[in-house]
């Protein structure tokens, strides 16, 4: 199936590695014009170079921290001057730190709000004028299956990402009449650096090894394994493509059946 992504301009926040990186690779293979992002400039430039070599499509790095309130305006200027339009916006960042209720300070709650909620709000609000120039405009927020089934020891993610889901659904309702689609993908356990760090944290807590923790976690999913980032990327790529044109307001779990509820 041709996904009709040829020459579509895409910005993916938080994409120098992990889920964002894998999605950038898949979109570039579909001949989209992809801008990737991360806070570490050196790593971002290397990621762009690697992706360019891998896909034989030029990848554009745009360095910056999505929690910086001035970042979206700088990005808007860059995209406007270079491409004059934006077809697809994927909002994403690293996840908030683990921890239980009593260990989380006000400061940590504020930081998580900035990272996992306000960064999505600011990027969408600032880039909307550019999205409005596209006939196939859509926004995909990357959240977590934790909005459907809270994950132990991740109270920040469990709580704050629910607001991002509320945001995504509300925008789908408010802006659908303009033809702009808003969806969210809710990843389950996928083998990325973030998951490695979380497993390391659990291994320390449980006096076990990372490998043991990965096996334990995998056994909670019906498929008994974690996902590869490319498995996430394939679905995200379809969702943002014009072939998913009647899909909006959808919160799609890509979790190997991890969420046990029916809906
Ligand atoms: N992987 C999973 O199993 C899983 C499951 C559920 C939910 N999620 C969520 O999905 C999202 C992506 O996960 P991942 O596993 O791909 O994470 P990851 O491996 O930690 O990658 C995060 C990416 O975002 C960038 N980043 C982090 N903070 C940023 C910021 N403030 N501004 C700009 N870029 C930033 C990182 O680069 P720099 O560090 O250089 O900035 C990196 O490129 C996270 O929110 C995560 O919590 C993941």
Sequential DSSP letters for 71-103: HHHHHHHHHHHHHS--SEEEE--PPPPPB-GGG
- Asked if residue 72 has its Cβ within 6 Å of ligand 1, the reply is no
| End-to-end Cα spacing for the chain | 28
- Residue 198's pLDDT is 87
Residue 117 pLDDT more than 90? yes
Q: Report which of 76, 44, 71, 72 is spatially closest to residue 60, judged by C-alpha positions.
A: 44
142 pLDDT higher than 90 = yes
16 lines ligand 1 (CB under 6 A): yes
- Rounded mean pLDDT of 228-257? 98
The three-state secondary structure class of 161 is helix
> 186 near 251, Cβ under 8 Å?
yes
Which atom of ligand 1 has the smallest separation from the CA of 116? Answer: 45
How far is Cα 87 from Cα 237, in angstroms, rounded to an integer?
Answer: 13
Percent pLDDT > 70 in the chain is 100
Pocket test for ligand 1, best of 18, 25, 111, 158 (most atoms within 8 A of CB): 18
Half-sphere exposure of residue 203: CA atoms within 13 angstroms, side-chain side: 14
The structure tokens listed for 82 are 């270079």
Query: How far, in Å, from the CA of 36 to the mean position of ligand 1?
Result: 12
pLDDT at 262 over 90: no
Ligand 1 neighbourhood includes 94 CB (under 6 angstroms) = yes
Interval between CA 14 and ligand 1 midpoint (Å): 6
Within 10 Å of residue 60's Cβ, how many Cβ atoms? 18
Domain borders along the chain are 9-190+229-254, 191-226
Asked if the model's pLDDT at residue 13 lies above 90, the reply is yes
Q: DSSP letter at 197?
A: H
β-partners of residue 181 are 138
Whether the model clears a pTM of 0.95, i.e. scores above it, the answer is yes
Cβ 23 under 6 angstroms from ligand 1: no
From the alpha carbon of 14, which atom of ligand 1 is closest?
24
| Six token digits for residue 124 | 């969408």
Is the pLDDT at 263 greater than 90? The verdict is: no
Output phi, psi for 149, to 5 deg.
Answer: -145, 100
Mean pLDDT of 148-160: 95
Q: What is the pLDDT of residue 3?
A: 98
Would you say domain 9-190+229-254 falls under CATH 3.40.50.1220? Answer: no
Cα(178) to centroid(ligand 1), Å: 30
Tell me the average pLDDT of the chain: 97
Whether 236 is in the pocket of ligand 1, judged by its Cβ within 6 Å, is no
Ligand 1: which of 11, 12, 13, 14 to mutate, judged by most atoms within 8 Å of the beta carbon?
14
* Position 224 confidence tier, pLDDT thresholds 50, 70, 90: very high
Structure-token pair, residue 215: 């096996």
Burial class (CB in 10 A: 0-12, 13-18, 19+), 65: middle
Cross-sheet strand order for the sheet of 138-142: 60-61, 33-36, 9-12, 88-91, 138-142, 181-187, 251-254
Distance (angstroms) between ligand 1 centre and the Cα of 209 equals 23
* Mean pLDDT computed over 2-29: 98
């Amino acid at each position: 199936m041709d996904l009709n992504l040829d020459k579509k301009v895409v910005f993916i926040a938080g994409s120098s590695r992990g889920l964002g990186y894998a999605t950038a690779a898949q979109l570039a293979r579909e001949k989209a014009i992809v801008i990737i992002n991360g806070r570490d400039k050196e790593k971002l430039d290397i990621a762009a170079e690697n992706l360019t070599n891998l896909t034989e499509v030029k990848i554009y790095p745009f360095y910056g921290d999505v929690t910086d309130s001035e970042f979206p305006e700088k990005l808007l200027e860059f995209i406007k001057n270079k491409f004059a339009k934006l077809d697809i916006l994927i909002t994403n960042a690293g996840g908030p730190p683990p921890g239980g209720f009593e260990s989380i300070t006000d400061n940590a709650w504020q930081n998580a709000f900035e990272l996992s909620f306000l960064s999505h709000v600011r990027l969408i609000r600032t880039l909307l004028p550019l999205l409005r120039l596209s006939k196939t405009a859509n926004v995909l927020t990357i959240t977590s299956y934790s909005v459907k089934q809270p994950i132990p020891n991740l109270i920040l993610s469990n709580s704050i990402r629910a607001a991002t889901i509320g945001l995504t659904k509300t925008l789908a309702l408010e802006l659908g009449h303009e033809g702009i689609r808003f969806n969210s993908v809710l990843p389950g356990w996928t083998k990325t650096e973030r998951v490695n760090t979380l497993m390391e944290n659990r291994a320390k807590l449980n006096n076990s090894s990372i490998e043991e923790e990965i096996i334990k976690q995998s056994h909670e999913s019906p498929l008994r394994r974690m996902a590869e980032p490319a498995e996430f990327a394939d679905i995200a790529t379809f969702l943002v493509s014009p072939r998913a044109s009647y899909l909006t307001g959808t919160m799609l779990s890509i979790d190997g059946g991890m969420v046990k509820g029916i809906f």
